[in-house]
Structure 1
Amino acid sequence: MNKEVRVGVAAVILRDGRVLLGERIGSHGAHTWATPGGHLELGESIEECAKRETFEETGLVVNSFKNLGFTNDIFDKENKHYVTLFVVTSCSIGEPQITEPEKCKQWKWFNLDELPEPLFLPLTNLLKDSVDIGEFA
């Protein structure tokens, strides 16, 4: 097993009571639905990471960040371990583009009570902790 625990940042983008999720391909968590996000880089703030990853993955520019919580995510099959920091953010204009087609098949907006399955492990773990994303909508 990789002895390193990585820090991931997940941007929970809300608009009109819906959340943006992408269908992952080509990396751990393939064929699950996840928020935009990625690795926290050295010297980067959590907000900077959420903004950078969202733009790289969707072309959207997000603002106004609130801490939502964190999860401890162990991917047994891939021998990976992450601590994922979730932030709620908003983006009032534009539609997401598939800017990394090798990593994401599609982006879609989902009602908070009608989330697709299967969800990416960190998002599943967050919801297991009874975090109410809707209180931020």
Structure 2
Amino acid sequence: MNDQDAAAPVPRVSVVVFLLKGRSVLLGRRRSSVGNSTYALPGGHLEFGESFEECAIREVKEETGLEIRKTEFIMVTNNVMLNEPKPCHYVTVLMRAEPADPEEEPKNMEPNKCDGWEWFEWGNLPKPLFGPLEKWVNEGFKPFPPT
């Protein structure tokens, strides 16, 4: 391998969670080089050997302090973000879940990465949304289970 190969960016795998309470979804305002100051779902990088469900449970707990239940796979998307200060490529696994205790409020467990967590009605989401989330919303995606 030469030096150019070592520096070449590679796709990463992330798992994000549509944490639902009624018709509301949990979003946090990002503090990072990618999507800074945009509202995004809880989630993060898939670790070696981890299932999508295990990653969803771990990331929600690490970021919000909440336990989740009814975790289920929704879909996978391919997100190439070239207009970020640090261009990146993510294969993103979308999961859906509910809080184990609907009365428990989320805590900001990683204040260096997020300004805080809030529940937002799906029809009244804050702006600006994180790029991939904004794309899904604009395409008419809805995270709710079929009724």
Q: Could you say whether these structures have the same fold, taking a TM-score greater than 0.5 normalized by the shorter chain as the test?
A: yes
1:136 to 1:28, Cα distance in 2 relative to 1, 3 A: farther
Q: 1:25 to 1:60 in 2, by over 3 A?
A: same
Aligned residue number for residue 118 of structure 1: 128
1:51 is matched with 57
Could you list the runs of 5+ residues in structure 1 that have no partner in the other structure? none
1:6 aligns with 2:9: no
Task: State the shift of 1:65 in Å.
Answer: 1.4
Instruction: Identify the range of structure 1 (41-50 vs 59-68) with the bigger mean alpha-carbon deviation.
Output: 59-68
* Aligned CA distance change for structure 1 residues 61 and 10 (closer, same or farther; 3 Å): same
What is the CA–CA distance in structure 1 between the aligned matches of 2:145 and 2:47, rounded to whole Å? Answer: 29
Please state if 1:38 is matched with 2:44: yes
Equivalent position of 2:4 in the other structure: none
Matched, 1:97 2:107: yes
**Secondary structure of the residue that 1:113 maps to in structure 2?**
helix
RMSD between superposed Cα atoms in Å: 1.7
Where do 4+ consecutive residues of structure 1 move more than 4 Å?
none
Q: Which amino acid letter does the alignment assign opposite residue 97 of structure 1?
A: K
Moved more, 95-104 or 65-74: 65-74
Asked whether 1:85 is paired with 2:89, we answer no
- TM-score norm. by structure 1 comes to 0.91
Residues 24, 103 of structure 1: 8 Å contact kept: yes
For normalisation by structure 2, the TM-score amounts to 0.86
Is the 1:84–1:122 contact (alpha carbons within 8 Å) kept by the matching residues of 2?
Answer: no
- The partner residue of 1:107 within 111, 117, 124 is 117
- Number of positions where the alignment pairs a residue of Structure 1 with one of Structure 2: 137
Distance 1:136 1:107 in 2: 26
Measured in 2, the distance between the counterparts of 1:43 and 1:32 equals 30
**Cα offsets for 1:71-108 (capped at 9, x unmatched):** 21112122210011110100024110011000000111
Give the match for residue 16 of structure 1. Answer: 22
Identical aligned residues as a percent: 40
Shift of 1:27: 3.4
